[in-house]
Amino acid sequence: MGLVEPHEVVARILFNPQHIKADGTVRSGLFSPKDIREKGVSLVRSERISPQELKAQAEAIAENYHKPRTAEGVIECKAEQIRDLVDEEGSRLFCLFDDPVVGQNGLPDNPAHATAIASNVLSDADIAQIKTLLTLSFGPLRRFA
């Protein structure tokens, strides 16, 4: 689909109970250190997929997880908000790029997939701060209909 434009909305799919507390609020640990540091934070380019396709994608991911979970909804922000996160020297903390996924293991293709990954080697203290900055960049939970 090409370059993720600064104005594009990207979404993080949230699952219950992995990302949702018993009281229905979002857990603070929705971005894992391993994802930030190594694998990348999995996102979806919201404007490149219909709400029905996004929900179906999320439900398929939930069904294929090794523990029971349900797809709850998404949190969203503009791509530029992720790219605007910088360290003390003004260097970007994340690279955000188009990363289409070819379906496998019972999952459908996801041509609207994107990944945000740390642009530099990060300490554990850096990761803790970045998790907070990422969480603050995204809006409130928008539940699936």
How confident is the model over 122-135, as pLDDT tens digits? 888 889 889 999 99
Token digits of residue 90: 């003004």
Domain membership flag for residue 3: no
Compute the mean pLDDT over every residue in the chain, rounded to the nearest whole number: 92
Domain membership flag for residue 85: yes
Contacts of 95 (CB under 8 A, 6+ apart): 116, 117, 118, 119
Please count the structural domains in the chain. Answer: 1
Residues in the chain: 145
12 sits in which H/E element: strand 9-16
Task: Tell me the pTM.
Answer: 0.92
Q: Read out DSSP for 34-100?
A: HIIIII-EEEEEGGGS-HHHHHHHHHHHHHTSSS--EEEEEEEEEHHHHHT-B-TTS-BSEEEEE--
- What pLDDT score does 126 carry? 87
Domain that holds residue 29: 9-140
Asked if the model's pLDDT at residue 103 lies above 90, the reply is no
Domain membership flag for residue 57: yes
- What pLDDT score does 141 carry? 95
